[in-house]
Amino acid sequence: MCEKTNYKDSNTKIDKCMREEIKGWRRAIKLLNPYLDDLKIVACCCGHGKFSKTIILRLKVDGDSEASYFDHFSGVEIPRSRNFYKRDKQGYYYIPEVHKPKEVKETIFRR
């Protein structure tokens, strides 16, 4: 588990443990961009051992006026273009659409 600390990498907060992975992604995106009009990493978080890792990508397809945002790992589309992450009570960031509450208890009511 990495430390819950923000690190700077070219004016974007990237968790230290994800720097090499993001560098690889950026290289791959440079190769894909001639085939995709616009693919860009806009946010990422390692999850700090509490939540799953997320990489938010923006994809704008030729002819579309608006871009789509989605998490690479889960494939979940994010219905907003900024403020992707929310903070829990302990200060860890997560994306509500990707991370459903784990402790959901079903209650059966009997009469």
Q: pLDDT tens-digit profile of 57-96?
A: 988 877 677 889 999 999 999 998 888 888 888 888 888 8
Question: With a threshold of 0.85, does the pTM exceed it?
Answer: no
pLDDT at 59: 86
Helices and strands (H and E) in the chain: how many: 1, 8
Assess contact for 25 and 55: CB atoms under 8 A. Answer: yes
Ordered by start, the domain boundaries in the chain are 8-94
How far is it, in rounded angstroms, from Cα 88 to Cα 39? 29
- Nearest Cα neighbor of 43 from 77, 70, 63, 67 is 70
